[in-house]
Structure 1
Amino acid sequence: MTKIAESKVIVGLEVGSSKIVTVVGEVLPDAVVNVLGTGVCPSRGIERGSVVDLEAVTSSIKKAIEQAESIANYEIQGVALAITGKHIKTINESGCVPLETGEVTSEYIDRAIRTASSIKLDEGSEILHVIPQEYKVDHLEKTKKPLGLQGVRLQAQVHMITCHQDWLRNLRKAVENNKLKIDQVVFSGMASSYSVLTEDEMELGVCLIDIGGGTMDILVYADGALRYSQVLPFAGNEITKHLSEIFITSPRDAETIKVKFASAVYPPLTFADKKIEIAGLGGRLPQNITKQKLAQVTSVCYTELLSIVKEELITLQNELKQKGIKSDLTAGIVLTGGGSQAEDIVQCAMDIFGIPARVGYPQNITGLTDYVNKPQYATALGLLQYCYLNSEDSHITPPPLQNNGFVSGAKKVVDWIKKTF
C-alpha cells in the first residue's frame, strides 16, 4: 500500500558514469526536502550504468557517502538507489478483471493492475515500477478515477519499467560492500521527474531528457500519464571523447573545456571570439582556439544527441495518435542532468524540436540549496521525494509529487492514493 510518511531523513545515492552523488535530506510533512548534507565523488569502475570494476565503484561510493556524512553530521545506514543503463526496458500493458459485484472497488483496481503486470518478462528481467495510466469500465470513457463506477469489466492500462537482474545485482553489491542497506531501487529518470516536473507540464504533455555522463534518460508524459521511458546508452561522455580526439588532448582536459566553454549552437550566442587554450597531449604544444571554433564541434554533438530523441518522439506520437491518446507536448522539453548545463542548449533544443524548452532545476528544496540547486542533483533529490511517497513493499507507483504549489501538490497525491488504491 502506498503511503505518506511523517518527516524523516532519507538518503539518495546516484551511481553515475561520471560521478557518484549522495544527498542526505529531511523530507518534511509538506514534502519539501531540507538538504542536510551532500557528497560528490568522481565515478570509477562504471560505464553507461554498468559496473565494470567492482572494487573501484565500491571505493567511489564510500568516498561520496563519507563526505555526505561529514557535512550532515549523520550516520548513513540505508539509501535509495538510482539505476539506469541500456538494460532498462519499458512496456505499456493492459489488464482486465470482471466486476463480480458490479462496482469498481480498490480491490478490483489492484487486481486489474496486477493482471496487467503479470506478463512474461525477458529472461533475467524484473519489475522496478508499475505506473497506472488510466482505466476503462465497459464502454465508458477512459478515466483516471474509476472508483465507484458501475459496470461489468474493468480494464487498467499501465506503464511498466523493468531492469536486468545482473546489472542490479552488481550495483547492489557495490553499495552493500560499504555496509549500507538499500531501501529502494528507483529508475533514475523516474527520480528526476519527481524533482523537476510540474503537474501542469505532465497534464499538457512534456518530454524530460536527463543528460548524464554515460546515458540519457527520456520520459514522456502525455494526457496526464507516463507513456514512454527509455535509456539511450550515450550522452555527455561521448562529447568529451570526441573533443579529446579532435584536439588531441587528455579526456580530463577535454571534459574541462566542454564544461567551461562548449556551446550547443553554432555560432555561440555569446563571446564567440573568446580565446581558449587547450593543453597538448604527451608534451605537445598547447593549442589556442576561439570559442566559435570549439562550437563548430560541440554544436554538432549536441544536435546529434537531441535529434535521436526527436526521432523517438515522432515514432511515439504516431503510436499514441493511433490509439486515440492525446500526443501533443504542449509543455515542451525539460532538460536536466549535468549535460543540460551546456551553454545555449535550450536554444539548440528549441531549434530541433520546434517547441518550448527549459532547463529543469530541482524544486522545493531548503537547507544547503547553494550546493544542490543544480540540474546534476535532480536524480538524487528526486530519490528522496520518491521514497517519501512510495512504500518499499509495492511496485505500484503513483504520479510524481506535483511541485507547482508543493503543499497542495502533496495533498493531491494523498487524495489520489486514497481514491485509487
Structure 2
Amino acid sequence: MDTNKLVYVALELGSSHICGLLAYKDALGRVVPMASRRVESKGSIVHGTIYNIDAASAIAKEIIRDFNQELESSGYSISQVYVSIDCRSLHSLRHIVSHSYDGDGILATEEHVKALEEELLKEQFDGYEILSVLPPYYHVNGRRENSIVGMLCREVRVYYTLLLVRKTYVRLITDLVEKRLRLKLAGILAAPICEAQVILSPGIRQMGCALVNIGADCTTVSVYKEDALELLRVYPVGGSAVTRDLSTLHILREDAEEIKCSRLSAVSEMKDGDSFVEIPSFIGKEAQQIRLLDLNRCAQARMKEIIANVQALVESSGVANRIDGGYIFTGGGCLIGRFNRLLKDMGINDSIQVTSVNDKLFFAEPNTDEFFASPSQYASIVGAIYCATKGCLEVANTVFSPLTEEDEFENEPSKPLRQDEPLHSPSEGRTTRREEYTRDVEEDLYSQSNPMPRKEEKKNKFSLGRVFKDILDVASNTRPEGEEEDEEDEEE
C-alpha cells in the first residue's frame, strides 16, 4: 500500500447492530476492507437514534480498540472517525432560491454559485440542523440545467435538496465521538445517501427509482429522478416488528427472531396449515407447536403494513408515475420468504431485490471476514467509506535513524504527522537527533539504577497482511538525506 493512500474509519449506528469498517480505496476507486466489526446494539440504538449513550459508547470503544490493535504493527492509530446514521428524524427538504438580474443578465461564475449557497445556509430550521446540501439543479431562463457556470442568466431558480436531522441527535453523536471515544468527528453521513452511491448506478438514478431499505427498526425510502434526490423519508417500523408480533404468542424474543429468519413467509398459503413450528419450552411454559399458517398470517399483516407505507411515501414524492427504474429493495427485512410474491400481490410488479453492492466499487478477498458473508448487511457502511474524503489515521510510532557524532543535534524538532500527509516528508514523522540522544541517556540512567532488564515489549499478535506490511516497509526504509553517505564514512 502506498504511504500516501488514505485509510478511512466509519461507524454505523444501527438499531440491531453497530458496525465498524476500516478500509481504503484502491487505484480503481474501489473500497477495500481491512477490518470490520458488527456488534449487537443491545437496545442502545432505537429507531436509528442513540437511546443509551453509555451502552452505545462502550460498543463503539470496543470496535475502535480492535481496529487500533489491528493497526498496531503499522505504526498508525485512529485519530478521527465518520459516523453513518439512518434515524427517524432524518429527512429531505426541497428549498428553492430565486434570483432575477437586470438588463441582459449576468455571466454566472463559481462566485455566484457560492453566494447562492451562502444565502441558503443562512436559513434556520426550528429544532433541525442541515446535515448536508446535495448538489442542486437549476432552472435558467425557463430551462433545467445541472450547472450555471459560464451561462448568461437573467432569471435563476436553484433547487436545493437539504438533509435535515434533529440538533439534539447531532449533539449526542458529537458527545459520543469527541468526549467518550476521544476522537475527532470527521463527519456525520446519511446512510441512505451513501448506500445509494454503491447500489444505484447513475443511469438508474437518471431513469428514476425508489430505493427501499427495510431494516430492523426503520424502513427508509429514497426516491430519485433525473439523478436528483426527490424524497428521503424514514418510516419508524422495520423487520423487528414481526419479531415483536410473534413474541405476543408466548414465544421468547430470541426464538421468535430465529423462527422469523428460518421459517416465516410474507404471504400465507392454505398448505401452510399442514406444517407446524415447535416452540421451545421455557420456565413456566411447556414446549408447544403452532401452525405455520397462523405464524405466516401474523408476519403477512405486518409486512403488508410496511409495504403500504412505502407506497404512500413514494406517491408523496410527486414522481411516482415517472420512476422507470421501479422499486429496489435491500436490507434484512426483505429476506423474509415469499417477499416478491407480496410485492406483486400489492401491485409492485417492477421491483428488484438487491443484497450486495456494485462490484466495481467494492473489493474484498474471499473469506476475508465473516461480516462480509451476508452482503445485505454491509452496503450502507461500504457506502460511508466510499463517500469519505478525510484520512482517519495518524502516525502513532516514530521511525528512528542512526546517530552520528557530527549531526547529533542538527535537526529541528519534528511536527506531528497526520495520516493524510506524506509519510516521506523529510522534516516530519521522524525522531530528531536530540530526542534520540535524550532517550539514550535516560536509558543509561535507568539501567544503572535498576539492574533488572526491562521486559520485552509484547509483540502484536494481529496482522493486516500485505496491506499494512507495505506501509511499515516503506516507512522503515525511509532514510534521511545523506544517511547512506554517513554509513559509508563510518565503515571507512
What is the TM-score normalised by the length of structure 1?
A: 0.81
Further displaced range: 76-85 or 286-295: 286-295
Tell me by how many angstroms 1:281 deviates: 4.4
AA aligned to 1:92 is: R
Q: Which residue of 1 aligns with 2:455?
A: none
Closer, same or farther in 2 for the Cα pair 1:68/1:276, shift >3 Å? farther
Aligned-partner Cα distance in 2 for 1:181–1:342: 39
How far apart are residue 381 of structure 1 and its match?
A: 0.7
Matches of 1:181 and 1:369 in 2, distance apart? 33
In structure 2, C-alpha distance between the alignment counterparts of 1:366 and 1:311, rounded to whole Å: 36
One of 263, 266, 270 as aligned partner of 1:264: 266
Gaps of 5+ in 1: 1-5, 321-325, 391-421
Superposed displacement of residue 26, structure 1: 1.0
Paired position in structure 1 for 2:54: 55
In 2, distance between residues paired with 1:306 and 1:208? Answer: 13
2:329 to 323, 328, 335: 335
Q: How does 1:10-409 map to 2 (within 5 A)?
A: 10-44=8-42, 45-69=44-68, 75-98=77-100, 102-122=106-126, 124-139=127-142, 141-176=143-178, 177-245=180-248, 247-267=249-269, 275-289=276-290, 291-317=292-318, 320=319, 327-360=321-354, 361-364=356-359, 365-368=362-365, 370=367, 371-372=371-372, 374-388=375-389
**Aligned positions, number:** 375
Q: Is the CA contact 2:217–2:236 (under 8 Å) kept in the aligned structure 1?
A: yes
> Offset of 1:67 from its aligned partner?
4.4
When the two chains are superposed, the root-mean-square deviation of aligned CA atoms in Å is 2.8
Indicate the structure (1 or 2) with the bigger Cα radius of gyration.
2
Q: Distance in 1 between matches of 2:154 and 2:390?
A: 32
Q: CA deviation at 1:153?
A: 2.8
Task: Quote the offset at 1:35 in angstroms.
Answer: 1.1
Scaled by the length of structure 2, what TM-score is found?
0.70
Aligned equivalents of 1:109, 1:248: Cα separation in 2: 60
Q: Residues 99 and 106 (structure 1 numbering): CA distance in 2 closer, same or farther, change over 3 Å?
A: farther
Q: Deviations over 1:197-252 (max 9, x none)?
A: 1112101111111122121221100122100001111212211111111x211212
Change over 3 Å in CA distance of 1:80–1:368 after alignment to 2: farther
Structure 2 residue identity aligned to 1:385: Y
Q: Which amino acid aligns with 1:32?
A: R
Structure 1 pair 287–258 and aligned structure 2 pair: CA distance change class (3 A): same
Counterpart contact for 2:221–2:313, Cα < 8 Å: no
Distance 2:16 2:122 in 1: 36
1:67-92 Cα shifts (integer Å, max 9, x gaps) = 45556777433221012322223210
Distance 2:324 2:57 in 1: 43
CA shift in 2, pair 1:350/1:201, >3 Å: farther
Cα drift, residue 52 of structure 1? 2.4
Q: 1: distance between equivalents of 2:274 and 2:212?
A: 30
Q: How many Å separate the matches in 1 of 2:125 and 2:351?
A: 35
Q: Provide the rounded CA distance (Å) in 2 between the counterparts of 1:93 and 1:334.
A: 26
- Alpha carbons 2:357, 2:379 under 8 Å: kept: yes
Contact 2:22/2:35 (8 A) holds in 1: yes
SS of aligned partner of 1:182: strand
1:16 partner amino acid: G
Alpha-carbon offset, residue 130 of structure 1: 1.0
- Aligned residue number for residue 393 of structure 1: none
> CA separation in 2, counterparts of 1:196 and 1:69?
30
Tell me if structure 1 keeps the 8 A contact 2:265–2:300.
Answer: yes
Q: CA deviation at 1:291?
A: 4.3
